[in-house]
Amino acid sequence: MIELLTPAQLDEMRPAGRFVASVLAALSEKAAVGVDLLDLDALAHDMIRDAGAESCYIDYHPSFGAMPFGKVLCTSVNDAVLHGLPHRYKLRDGDLVSLDFAASLNGWVCDSAVSVVVGTPREEDVRLIDNAQEALDAAIAVARPGNRVGDISAAIGAVGRSHGLKINTQFGGHGVGRTMHGDPHIANDGRAGRGLPLKPGLVIAIEPWFLHTTDEIRMDEDGWTIRSADGSRGAHVEHTIAITEGDPIIMTARD
């Protein structure tokens, strides 16, 4: 079911967005050579507890998951791009890591992701992150009344293809509100002018993710972590936004 929120409800959701943004900012600063992925998860867990929030991940068990997720943060490193299950691994110089985090505060959910390079960056990794951010910015720019979900998907796909990237459409954006995942699904490529009309009060998470040289993916042995099929690295960025009568509101803005 798709729910359109009132302006008052959007105001109620803002603290959840600010909280998610603050956690990702702290995690991005903490991520460094020698830091363990489990330490990042523990930091997010502490911040959830201190804020009186609730994790959207720890008991999450969709049909594609092998078991309840069991952690509060997704940490996807190098050739992993989505749903990375935190495990005992110390970050190394040059690692590309995606940090994906969603939480509920006061009954409202926001969801966001950022990709960072730890230590000495590789030029191609920085470029891939920039490509994903460019796609996210382009998608947010068309998230206005009168447009459709297909316009968001088409904007993401156009940016990806302009940089010579192939686009996977199996996992993408989604509705957000009282729960983490809802309708509509927002693929990372599509046809403009198609799909659900965008109306004020619609809240969605837009999440472009790109791989260097493939659009094929495989599931890791942990039953959660999604990796590129050819070992190439991936970047993933995401914001929760609200459609309004004018400019969209970026609920999870980190600046």
**Residue 61 counted as an annotated binding residue:** no
| Strand 80-82 versus strand 54-55 pairing type | unpaired
In whole angstroms, give the CA distance from residue 173 to residue 183.
9
**Residue 174 counted as an annotated binding residue:** yes
**Residue 222 counted as an annotated binding residue:** no
**Residue 212 counted as an annotated binding residue:** no
**Residue 181 counted as an annotated binding residue:** yes
**Residue 39 counted as an annotated binding residue:** no
Q: What 3 state SS string does the chain have?
A: CCCCCCHHHHHHHHHHHHHHHHHHHHHHHHCCCCCEHHHHHHHHHHHHHHHCCEECCCCCCCCCCCCCCCCCCEEEECCEEECCCCCCCECCCCCEEEEEEEEEECCEEEEEEEEEECCCCCHHHHHHHHHHHHHHHHHHHCCCECEEHHHHHHHHHHHHHHCCCCCCCCCCEEECCCCCCEEEEECCCCCCCCCCECCCCCEEEECCEEECCCCCEEECCCCCCEEECCCCCEEECEEEEECCCCCCEECCCCC
**Residue 238 counted as an annotated binding residue:** yes
Binding residues for substrate: 83, 181
Binding residues for a divalent metal cation: 100, 111, 174, 207, 238
Binding residues: 83, 100, 111, 174, 181, 207, 238
